[in-house]
Structure 1
């Protein structure tokens, strides 16, 4: 019996047991690292194959990389239409309040120019912008939200539906061409 730190065991600590093993051709066993047996690895593989991802939780890093890869698979046109982390569509808007009627004036690389038929006071222009974009994109007003820029001309609008960024970009382009 070996005495280890006030506790007596038959072979001592795990470290002493690992050192007492005969050296094999395995580099890890020679370094004193105890590997799991081959039958245990097969059991874990079988469980993982049977239950899928629920059996063994993946590390946070692998999970985050997988989510980033899924978001990057969505082909987003370069320009004012983007996708955020929650996979919602964001549209960069340059608002031009005080126009005679609401219309898309231009679609540039950075923003979508929108003339708004409401004055820029008491949030009237923001309400008109939301209702105009909802009508243009054929959505409900509750599905179009002013995300940033409530007091600025540079605004960010979030689309809360499963509408693809390509479809949003196409509808904005068509509206700019028809105006």
Structure 2
């Protein structure tokens, strides 16, 4: 399993989320996943909402193009993003850390 894999119309990210951070940021690879720090606490879906908002801005796609596929209540999440190529996603992520 790759951190970022190509799916029809976009990419799938395998993420490890660290909530209650000082700021939202991509940290880098972590146990075969991409670690992302999110400022929101893991309460009532706040961290998930903030994660989707952050990914929307980071990859420059509308929030409606981002779907939380797996990991609604855990730190390990799978997210699908439509409208971005594998190559572009790799470039953006690699430049972030």
Q: Which has the higher strand share?
A: 2
Structure 2: runs of 5 or more not aligned = none
Contact 2:16–2:30 (CA under 8 A) maintained in structure 1: no
Taking structure 1 as the reference length, the TM-score comes to 0.51
TM-score normalised by L of structure 2: 0.90
CA RMSD, 1 decimal: 1.6
Q: Which of 29, 35, 42 does residue 120 from structure 1 map onto?
A: 42
The residue matched to 1:104 in structure 2 has which SS?
A: strand
Flag structure 1 segments of 5+ consecutive residues without an equivalent: 1-77
Select which of 77, 92, 95 maps to 1:171: 92
Q: Which of 135, 151, 165 does residue 73 from structure 2 map onto?
A: 151
Relative contact order (C-alpha < 8 Å, sep 6+): which is higher?
A: 2
Give the number of the structure whose residues are more often helix, by fraction: 1
Detail structure 1 runs of 4+ shifted over 2 Å in the superposition. none
Shift of 1:137: 0.6
Mapped contact 1:134–1:141 kept (Cα < 8 A): yes
- SS of the residue corresponding to residue 117 of structure 1 reads coil
1:134 partner SS: helix
Q: How many aligned residue pairs are there?
A: 97
1:98–1:117: 8 Å Cα contact kept in structure 2? yes
Pick closer, same or farther for the CA change 1:96–1:109 going to 2, 3 Å.
closer
CA shift for structure 1 position 116: 0.3
Give, in angstroms, the shift of residue 83 of structure 1.
2.3
Q: Deviations over 1:37-85 (max 9, x none)?
A: xxxxxxxxxxxxxxxxxxxxxxxxxxxxxxxxxxxxxxxxx7301124x
Where in structure 2 are the equivalents of 1:88-167 lying within 5 Å?
A: 88-108=10-30, 110-161=32-83, 163-167=84-88
Distance in 2 separating the partners of 1:108 and 1:81? 13
